[in-house]
Copies of this chain bind each other. A is one copy, B any other.
Amino acid sequence: MNDTILTAAKETSAAAAGAKSDPTRYANAIRALAMDAVEKAKSGHPGMPMGMADVATVLFQRFMKFDASRPDWPDRDRFVLSAGHGSMLLYALLYLLGYPGMGRKELENFRQLGSPTAGHPEYGHAAGIETTTGPLGQGLATAVGMAIAERLSAARFGDDLVDHFTYVIAGDGCLMEGVSHEAIDLAGHLKLSKLILFWDDNSISIDGPTSLATSTDQIARFAAAGWHVAHVDGHDSEAVAQAIAAAQADPRPSLVGCRTLIGYGAPTKQGKESCHGAPLGAAEIDAAREALVWPHAPFELPDDVLEAWRAAGRRGAKAREAWEARRDASSKGAAFDAFMKADVAAQVAGPLAEFRATLAAEKPKVATRKSSEMALGVINAATQATIGGSADLTHSNFTITKGMGEVAPDDFSGRYIHYGVREFGMAAAMNGVALHGGFAPYGGTFLVFSDYARGAIRLSALMGLRVIYVLTHDSIGLGEDGPTHQPVEHLAALRAMPNLNVFRPADAIETAECWELALASRHTPSVVSLSRQNLPTLERPIGENLSAKGAYVLREAAGKRDVTLLATGSEVEIALAAADILDTQGLKAAVVSMPCWELFEAQSEAYRAEILGGAPRVAVEAAVRLGWDRWIGDRGAFIGMSGFGASGPAGELFKHFGVTAEAVAEAARTLVKA
């Protein structure tokens, strides 16, 4: 195939130079910008943008519904560059189409500090970047979430207000990653007919030909997952256009396999891994200019080409205006606007405050996963924004509440998604749901399996999305399932991640508080770490959300502190028992509950000093020590885990590993004596 394309390339481009409307010429603008920007940056990936330029041109000039002047139009089609290393394809498109904030200067500053044209597309850096991509496979999995959100929104507000496609470009790498399987299966199952995936089938990976590592028949694979499939020459614009039209009409999600030549137009490097991730070099670029019949200086474009692209950028303005008119005329228009802008925190604040008062009165002794279910009952009644789900652990995570309704392939009126045994896919889909707008997604699995989802949790944090991870069975307290299911290092590993709030509530009241804080964190994802085992409701002052400052004195010492005991979650009960023991021994202990280190860290030094106190400190957490030295200091002690857990009844395990009130009291006595 390569030879044919090689021969055809120059002929097509030459013809295009004459016939000004030929799409190849518009595509060549993308190619030139990509190779020039990478060359100037001295790093980057020219191969993919050059290979997929023709497909992108057809898509954006003829199919995508958008208005470049209004990138926030809610009913725009979404475009996700899952093969994020090809970022210059996206930046070139945004510039050519006239998106605000993406000028020639930004392209010339590709990959420079402070420029929106980062090495990989970063959400929030420029209008038109719908999600951060780069970690392979995740763009596709995030797009599944966007397509789910589109269906959820349409079910609520009608097809006349919500009716748009989600387009994705993915490469061989994306399709090798495991998360692609989770995404493809879920999309096929849910019949996400408005999800259209272009596979850049260029047979090249970084190490060399894809035949080094994969032999899968991708077309058959997608068909097995319930997708509509097509396979076309990615440099044949009409074939691509026909495939898109067929994909739009099909009731299934669609794969359009696009056979392409990576680096199309670079005479000696095209079709080879050498053009994937490095500048082409001046000589090759000169030769490519000749081959593509593109006699223009770097970053310069013929007026007619730029104008044609800018016209494409304006093409959707009428559709956008028509949509606005429909919205203004619709009985659901105001509700739609309100939904997209809703202040979820305000919606739930009153009911949750009332709920906390009830808890303080009734003092339930339940697992915090159960407390979470109770809080969710209040939350899901107070707001329509929440979309719940679980990776096939619904009745362990307690993530469903009465009357939510379950999402099914032909019914998106519900609010609960059975994500299947797909932690990573669930997390990435939640990112997509959050990015789409309006919704506040939460999803459950066991804390230990946050490992499986970590790649997507990181993108929640990096993008600053309100995604809430409900992670239950959060210590050896889960008991018999044993060390494969018992997290010991996961709290530390999650606390290490920037812009992620890790909540570990100690009882029902803190659980409600943490949920309130998580929903109020519009630009920070949250982990809510919950126990399998029952915990008592603790005594404390009623009213204020005490978790809001991250840590607080749950029980002050009766007099000057001899020692301060620090704990989180299920171990707060242990710290209180230790304080009781110490009391009988004449030592005055304060107990500090620390449901969220990140929020505590954000308080003033004075507040932190007041809470932690000047007395020696003992921390207790059924997890590894890493990170605790920040709070216990040089004179401190830590009671917790130093290795993996074991299979056995929870009570025996706490004794076996020495995570007990007696051990805490003993450590405190030793410190005070020292």
What residue of chain B has the Cβ atom nearest to residue A189's Cβ?
A: B215
Hey, which chain B residues are within 8 Å of A396, CB to CB? 206
Tell whether A483 is near chain B: CB-to-CB under 8 Å: yes
A122, B648: Cβ atoms closer than 8 Å = no
- A178, A223, A483, A499: most-surrounded residue (chain B CB, <10 A): A178
A30 to chain B, nearest CB (A): 20
Hey, which chain B residues are within 8 Å of A118, CB to CB? 482-483, 646-647
Contact residues, A410-464 vs B (CB, 8 A) = 418-422, 424-425, 448-449, 451-452, 454-455, 458-459, 461-462
- A185, A393, A452, A461: most-surrounded residue (chain B CB, <10 A): A452
Complex formed: what's the CA distance from A418 to B172 in Å? 14
Hey, which chain B residues are within 8 Å of A185, CB to CB? 176, 214-216
Hey, which chain B residues are within 8 Å of A216, CB to CB? 185, 188-189, 224-226
B113, A647: Cβ atoms closer than 8 Å = yes
Number of chain A residues close to chain B: CB under 8 A: 110
Among the 9-residue stretches A15-23, A158-166, A566-574, A629-637, the one with 4 or more Cβ atoms under 8 Å from chain B is A629-637
| Known pairs A177-B452, A496-B489; A212 contacts B642 (CB<8 A) | no
B451, A458: Cβ atoms closer than 8 Å = yes
Among the 9-residue stretches A128-136, A148-156, A290-298, A344-352, the one with 4 or more Cβ atoms under 8 Å from chain B is A128-136
B182, A177: Cβ atoms closer than 8 Å = yes
Complex formed: what's the CA distance from A480 to B278 in Å? 12
A110 to chain B, nearest CB (A): 9
What residue of chain B has the Cβ atom nearest to residue A210's Cβ?
A: B420
Complex formed: what's the CA distance from A496 to B623 in Å? 10
Complex formed: what's the CA distance from A186 to B181 in Å? 14
Partner pick for A393 among B113, B179, B206, B419, CB 8 A cutoff:
B206
Among the 9-residue stretches A92-100, A256-264, A580-588, A649-657, the one with 4 or more Cβ atoms under 8 Å from chain B is A649-657
Mask of A493-512 contacts with B, CB within 8 angstroms, 1/0: 10111110000000000000
A205, B454: Cβ atoms closer than 8 Å = no
If over half of A's interface residues share one DSSP class (helix, strand or loop), that class is named, otherwise mixed; here it is loop
B224, A173: Cβ atoms closer than 8 Å = no
A241 to chain B, nearest CB (A): 27
Hey, which chain B residues are within 8 Å of A395, CB to CB? 206-207
What residue of chain B has the Cβ atom nearest to residue A141's Cβ?
A: B178
Tell whether A370 is near chain B: CB-to-CB under 8 Å: no
Mask of A477-494 contacts with B, CB within 8 angstroms, 1/0: 001111111001110110
Tell whether A603 is near chain B: CB-to-CB under 8 Å: no
Hey, which chain B residues are within 8 Å of A145, CB to CB? none
Hey, which chain B residues are within 8 Å of A452, CB to CB? 135, 177-178, 454-455
Tell whether A302 is near chain B: CB-to-CB under 8 Å: no
Contact residues, A581-626 vs B (CB, 8 A) = 624-626
What residue of chain B has the Cβ atom nearest to residue A172's Cβ?
A: B421
B498, A644: Cβ atoms closer than 8 Å = yes
Hey, which chain B residues are within 8 Å of A449, CB to CB? 135, 455
A615 to chain B, nearest CB (A): 14
What residue of chain B has the Cβ atom nearest to residue A489's Cβ?
A: B496
| Known pairs A120-B647, A189-B213, A498-B624; A134 contacts B482 (CB<8 A) | yes
A649 to chain B, nearest CB (A): 7
Complex formed: what's the CA distance from A179 to B177 in Å? 8
Complex formed: what's the CA distance from A178 to B140 in Å? 13
What residue of chain B has the Cβ atom nearest to residue A133's Cβ?
A: B484
A309 to chain B, nearest CB (A): 25
Hey, which chain B residues are within 8 Å of A459, CB to CB? 484
Hey, which chain B residues are within 8 Å of A496, CB to CB? 489-490, 492-493, 496, 624, 626-627
Complex formed: what's the CA distance from A452 to B489 in Å? 16
Mask of A634-674 contacts with B, CB within 8 angstroms, 1/0: 10000001111011110011001000000000000000000
Partner pick for A176 among B135, B217, B421, CB 8 A cutoff:
B421
Mask of A353-378 contacts with B, CB within 8 angstroms, 1/0: 00000000000000000000000000
Complex formed: what's the CA distance from A585 to B224 in Å? 70
A205, B392: Cβ atoms closer than 8 Å = yes
A229 to chain B, nearest CB (A): 11
Tell whether A84 is near chain B: CB-to-CB under 8 Å: yes
Hey, which chain B residues are within 8 Å of A559, CB to CB? none
A451 to chain B, nearest CB (A): 4
A299 to chain B, nearest CB (A): 18
A113 to chain B, nearest CB (A): 3
Tell whether A114 is near chain B: CB-to-CB under 8 Å: yes
Tell whether A540 is near chain B: CB-to-CB under 8 Å: no
Complex formed: what's the CA distance from A454 to B450 in Å? 9
What residue of chain B has the Cβ atom nearest to residue A221's Cβ?
A: B224
Hey, which chain B residues are within 8 Å of A421, CB to CB? 136, 172-174, 176-177, 205, 213
Tell whether A380 is near chain B: CB-to-CB under 8 Å: no
A178, B176: Cβ atoms closer than 8 Å = no
What residue of chain B has the Cβ atom nearest to residue A479's Cβ?
A: B43
Complex formed: what's the CA distance from A452 to B120 in Å? 18
- 4 tightest A-B contacts by CB? A178-B178, A113-B648, A213-B420, A181-B181
Q: Which residues of A contact B (CB under 8 A)?
A: 41, 43-44, 84, 111-115, 118-120, 122, 132-136, 172-174, 176-182, 185-186, 188-189, 205-208, 212-218, 220-221, 223-226, 390, 392-396, 406, 409, 418-422, 424-425, 448-449, 451-452, 454-455, 458-459, 461-462, 479-485, 488-490, 492-493, 495-499, 624-627, 629-630, 633-634, 641-644, 646-649, 652-653, 656
Besides A119-B482, A207-B390, A207-B395, 8 other A-B contacts (C-beta < 8 A): A118-B647, A120-B482, A136-B421, A178-B452, A185-B216, A188-B216, A205-B420, A629-B629
Contact sample, A vs B, 27 pairs, CB 8 Å cutoff: A41-B480, A112-B648, A113-B646, A119-B482, A120-B481, A133-B484, A177-B182, A177-B421, A177-B422, A178-B181, A178-B182, A178-B422, A189-B213, A189-B215, A206-B392, A207-B395, A212-B418, A213-B420, A215-B225, A451-B455, A452-B455, A461-B644, A462-B644, A492-B626, A493-B493, A495-B626, A629-B630
